[in-house]
């Protein structure tokens, strides 16, 4: 398979972090956004940032900034739709989305998602971690999405759908399984305490 386009979802409102641009927070001297870019860029054909508001705050990353086309805050699905529209204009068949507040996601994310797509025959693949007896946890902002479903997604959002898995499961969705040890690589930074934990992981040499 050819490499998909990558879309970094940075449209969240960061309420638990006190508002503002969570993706611009520093972690050991680099912003969360830069860490996400550095992980995703080698895995995709091109990158864009999905963000709302003034795009100038991200100008230093030298990437296209695509805003939600759905008015109001419609959640991650609106960011996925914006990414699909961007990809359609470029003639791409798929996008991979990642969250801007998750700096340690796997460097093998895209090939594992693509292999799961081939193996499962489902149109959508979401990342998940396997926690053994505790079961699997899906990460709905980390997924491989076909451009062919963008009209369907637009209609669903317009009808009020906001929960990612409610829509993906209705279309057909497979899970790409990643290990949860030595820590969950999809750990995201929502609070100041999460930021402290991320710093500890780095100090221990775990990432």
**Nearest Cα to Cα of residue 99 among 25, 34, 9:** 9
* Per-residue pLDDT at 13: 52
Percent of the chain residues topping a pLDDT of 90:
78
DSSP string, 70-117: SSS---HHHHHHHHHHHHHHTT-SEEEEEETT-TT--TTHHHHHHHHH
Q: How close are the terminal C-alpha atoms of the chain, in Å?
A: 28
Range list of H helices, the chain:
32-40, 76-89, 109-120, 150-158, 164-171, 192-203
Distances in whole angstroms, Cα of residue 14 to Cα of each of 10, 93, 100, 101, 200: 10, 31, 11, 10, 22
Domain of residue 87, residue span: 5-203
| pLDDT tens, residue by residue, 137-156 | 999 999 999 999 999 999 99
**Nearest Cα to Cα of residue 198 among 59, 40, 9, 22:** 22
CB 50 within 8 A of CB 83: yes
Instruction: Provide the β-strand partners of residue 8.
Output: 49, 98
* Per-residue pLDDT at 19: 53
Confidence of residue 180 (pLDDT cuts 50, 70, 90): confident
Distances in whole angstroms, Cα of residue 23 to Cα of each of 33, 66, 133: 5, 15, 33
Q: How far is 126 from 140, CA to CA, in rounded Å?
A: 6
- What is the domain count for the chain? 1
CATH number at residue 126: 3.90.550.10
CB 126 within 8 A of CB 176: yes
Tokens of 60: 């230093």
Q: How far is 90 from 15, CA to CA, in rounded Å?
A: 34
Tokens of 36: 């996400």
Residue 47: phi, psi to the nearest 5? -125, 150
* Per-residue pLDDT at 133: 57
| pLDDT tens, residue by residue, 9-56 | 997 654 444 456 889 999 989 999 999 999 999 999 999 999 998 999
């Amino acid at each position: 398979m050819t490499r998909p386009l990558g879309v970094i979802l940075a449209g969240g409102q960061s309420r638990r972090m006190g508002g503002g641009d969570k993706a611009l927070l520093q972690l050991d001297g680099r912003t969360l956004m830069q860490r996400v870019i550095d992980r995703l860029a080698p895995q995709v054909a091109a990158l864009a940032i999905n963000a709302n508001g003034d795009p100038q705050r991200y100008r230093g990353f030298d990437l296209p900034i695509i805003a939600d086309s759905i008015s109001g805050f419609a959640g991650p699905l609106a960011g996925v739709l914006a990414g699909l529209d961007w990809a359609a204009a470029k003639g791409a068949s798929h996008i991979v989305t990642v969250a801007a507040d998750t700096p340690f996601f796997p460097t093998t994310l895209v090939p594992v998602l693509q292999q799961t797509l081939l193996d499962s025959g489902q149109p959508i693949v979401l990342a998940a971690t396997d926690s053994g007896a505790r079961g699997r946890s899906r990460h709905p902002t980390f997924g491989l999405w076909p451009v062919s479903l963008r009209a369907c997604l637009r209609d669903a959002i317009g009808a009020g759908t906001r929960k990612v898995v409610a829509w993906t499961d209705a279309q057909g969705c497979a899970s790409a399984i990643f290990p949860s040890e030595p820590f969950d690589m999809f750990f995201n930074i929502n609070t100041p305490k999460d930021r402290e934990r991320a710093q500890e992981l780095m100090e221990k040499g775990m990432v």
